[in-house]
Chains A and B, each alone.
Chain A
Amino acid sequence: MSELTYMLLKFGFLALMWVFVFGVVYALRSDLFGQQVRRVVARAREEQMAARATATAPASTPVGGPRRGSAPPALSFDEEPGSTQQTPPRRLVITDGPKAGLELELPEEELTIGRSAESGLVIRDDFTSSRHARLLHWPTGWVIQDLDSTNGTFLDGARVHAPTPVPLRTPITIGTTTFELRG
Chain B
Amino acid sequence: MIKIKNLSVSLGGFNLHNINLDIEENSFFVLMGPTGAGKTVLLEAIAGLTPVKSGSIFIGNRDVTKLPPEKHGVSIMYQDNSLFPHLNVMENIRYGLRYHKIDKSESDKKIDGLIEQLGLSSLLTRLPLNLSGGELQRVSLARALVVDPKIVLLDEPLSALDPNFRYELRQMLKKIHKSTNVTFVMVTHDFGEAISLAEKAAIMDGGRIIQTGTIDEIFQKPCCNFAADFVGMRNIFQVEFHGTTAKTGKLQINMGKKIDDTSGHIAIRPEDIVLSREKLQSSMRNSFRGKVLSIIDLGFFYEIDIDVNGTLFRSMIAKGSLFEMKIKENSDVFISFKASAIHNF
> A and B, one complex?
no
Binding site for A on B (CB under 8 A): none
